[in-house]
Amino acid sequence: MVISMEITVTQFKAKCLGIIEKVQREKCRVVISRHGRPAARLEPVGESTSREFFGRSRATTEIVGDLMETGEPWDAEG
C-alpha cells in the first residue's frame, strides 16, 4: 500500500531533497498543493499510472461508427 502525504509548495521547496529521498525509500506519494489546491504529485518511479495509459479505458469506452467519418462532405483534392 502506498501512503500519501500532502505538503505545500513552500514546504516542498524548503525540503525538496529530503522529500524525494523519503518517496524513494518509503514508496509513498506526496501531493504538493498551491493556494490550497493540489498542483502536483510526486511518486516513486514504477508506481506511476502512466505506464497503463493505452487501453486503460477499454472497459468503459465504446466506439460507435466510423472514427474517420466527420458527417460532412468534403473534397481533399479541391
List of E strands, 1-78: 4-8, 29-34, 37-42
Place of cell 516513486: 44
If pLDDT is split at 50, 70 and 90, which confidence band does 1 have?
very low
Q: Is residue 18 part of a domain?
A: yes
Q: Which residues neighbour 44 within 8 Å (Cβ) at sequence distance 6 or greater?
A: 23, 24, 27, 28, 29
Which CATH number belongs to the domain containing residue 42 in this structure?
Answer: 3.40.1620.10
Tally of structural domains, the chain = 1
Q: Is residue 57 part of a domain?
A: no
The model's pTM is 0.55
Q: What is the pLDDT of residues 64-76, one digit of tens each?
A: 888 778 788 877 7
**Residue 40's domain spans which residues?**
4-46
Q: What is the pLDDT of residues 42-65, one digit of tens each?
A: 998 875 555 567 777 888 888 788
